[in-house]
Structure 1
């Protein structure tokens, strides 16, 4: 019998940090768990990423209430993954915003992703009984849109495919701060199971072109100052490239998924083995890299059954 996924045994509650990344801008982080962002406008608050459950969303709300009593008017979701979106109901926001593509991915694979992640992340889904169902946006867009929180402009943009096909970033120009979702991580493994390796580097270039003063990444500590921002962007680039290249070489010579797994481990373990959720992400990353190297552009849908079959094959 295959051993459990690494995340299934991680039941230790994480220490929360709530870091100011710009005036009225905060990063909610928790030792490699999914991050959220907070943007305080003149009259209301925007939340970036809703957490996996209302239980976890309420921890974000508690932090918000420590700095402002303004109502939460908007929740922006950078992509469709269950651990990012299923807590949205707790915020009571007037608008829930995704890209058009992210909404289509909820329709196509949202329930399967929920079922898959529920099995993989038991700690994050404690209190799951309070989730009312799939999270659907009230507002979607393609390319770019701006939201005004009073006089504060917040730009929502699709800069390219990376972590998923529907990724967006959120830029606050008055502070030159960006909330990147899982396109950028800090000392946390990138989850690439639904990713686009060939596009990810170009999307990082588009982010880097903003010469940002701070980033609230998808996982890991807030990135404050251009040196830390650029180092995290380049480290993310290295992680993605170091995962794809060995798998692509194995695929090119007609090798097996297990051989790709061994090759990626040899390249990545020395550099990234101590990163948060590294062991959890690796099998999914290798499987997706192996598929993309064989010309499969659209990531195959992960189901709880596919998860287990893939993991058993790698263990065997």
Structure 2
């Protein structure tokens, strides 16, 4: 477990002017602070109250200003289970998310609790004991947050990892926070609530927000750049086109993982294939003769 004593070095590292990122070993989660003259905006809050208290300690040790707002990049628990703790530690503040994420957080959290209640994970109790705190400032396409002497943009670029992903753009620092639309520690997770056929086009829009000097903070893993995101978009595009090709040639869904040539381990693509076949329009699938 990481040392969070007062004498340990600050965990938050400045990756661009007044933009600090802390990388946490559990799930390789990134927490980002964006500083302005009116205070700090925190993007994502980690996966339990216990971990969020460590994050809060790290914020205090950084000493960059008061925490005045939170952003949840999507509805998955590892990005918002620290919300209530941040409010307890620093006082009431707005919590921003997309409309979709806010409306589906409770449903998503219930699935997480059901999963951990049934298992013996070493963090089971701390996850089940975490209090849910919903976002209270939501938007559908884009919104700007005023931090005093700098503006921060929240943008919903489309469906991908979930239907409610947002990215955070700090224009004056040329920083983009990708949430789980971009992951460095592992290939992006394509789960049962993902949109694999739309994800590549969503990343096209995200790439349009970047320059060749943009600092990109993924939801999990180390800081990356535009080239990394382009490579990940290419891989996701290959997955989508492979699904489209297989379905168009009449390959049954049950045989697609075996017959396709995939850029990732096929074991990671079970949901991608199932959802891809389901999301394709009828005109793009060769249906078996009955």
Instruction: Say whether the fold is shared (TM-score over 0.5).
Output: yes
What's the secondary structure of 2:143's corresponding residue? strand
Q: Do structure 1's residue 293 and structure 2's residue 277 form an aligned pair? A: yes
Compared CA separation, residues 129 and 204, structure 1 to 2 (3 A):
closer
Q: Distance in 2 between matches of 1:123 and 1:141?
A: 36
1:33 aligns with 2:28: yes
1:50-98 superposed Cα distances (whole Å, 9 cap, x missing partner): 1110111123223222322522221100110112111211111411111
Whether the 8 Å CA contact 1:82–1:117 is kept in 2: the answer is no
2:217 paired residue number: 216
Cα distance in 1, alignment partners of residues 174 and 60 from structure 2: 24
| Distance in 1 separating the partners of 2:273 and 2:186 | 18
**129 and 290 in structure 1: CA distance in 2 versus 1, 3 angstrom threshold:** closer
Q: Kindly indicate whether the alpha-carbon contact (under 8 Å) linking 1:52 and 1:125 is maintained by their aligned counterparts in 2.
A: no
Partner Cα distance (2:153, 2:221) in 1: 23
Whether contact under 8 Å (2:168, 2:177) holds in the other structure is yes
Partner of 2:68: 73
Superposition deviation, residue 239 in structure 1: 3.4
Q: Residue 202 and residue 129 in structure 1: after superposition, are their counterparts in 2 closer, same or farther (change >3 A)?
A: closer
Coordinate RMSD, CA, aligned: 3.0
Aligned residue for 1:97? 96
| Shift in CA distance, 190/117, structure 1 to aligned 2, threshold 3 Å | farther
Describe the shift of the 1:233–1:148 C-alpha distance in structure 2 as closer, same or farther (beyond 3 A).
same
Quote the residue 2:12 is aligned against: 18
Give yes or no for contact 1:53–1:125 (8 Å, CA) kept in 2: no
The structural deviation recorded for 1:122 is 3.2
Whether 1:43 aligns to 2:38 is yes
* Residue correspondence of structure 1 range 55-66 to structure 2 within 5 A: 55-66=50-61
Unaligned runs of 5+ in 1: 1-12, 224-228, 298-316
TM-score, normalising length from structure 1? 0.73
The aligned residue for residue 135 of structure 2 is 137
Where in structure 2 are the equivalents of 1:157-306 lying within 5 Å? 157-193=155-191, 194-212=193-211, 213-223=214-224, 229-252=225-248, 253-257=250-254, 259-263=255-259, 267-269=262-264, 282=268, 285-295=269-279
In the aligned structure 1, how far is the partner of 2:274 from the partner of 2:128? 36
Answering whether residue 131 of structure 2 is matched by residue 147 of structure 1, we say no
1:124 Cα deviation after fit: 5.7
Shift of 1:128: 2.2
Change (3 A) 1:41 1:115: farther
Query: Is this contact kept in 2: 1:95–1:139, CA < 8 A?
Result: yes
Determine the C-alpha separation between the residues in 2 that align with 1:245 and 1:197: 10
CA contact (8 A) 1:185 1:232 kept: no
For these two proteins, the number of residue pairs brought into alignment is 266
Helix, strand or coil: the match of 2:177?
strand
State TM-score, norm by structure 2. Answer: 0.79
Q: Matched residues in 2 for 1:182 and 1:294: separation? A: 22
- Going from structure 1 to structure 2, the CA distance change for 1:60 and 1:109 (only over 3 Å counts) comes to closer
Query: Please, which runs of 5 or more residues in structure 2 have no aligned partner?
Result: 4-9, 282-290
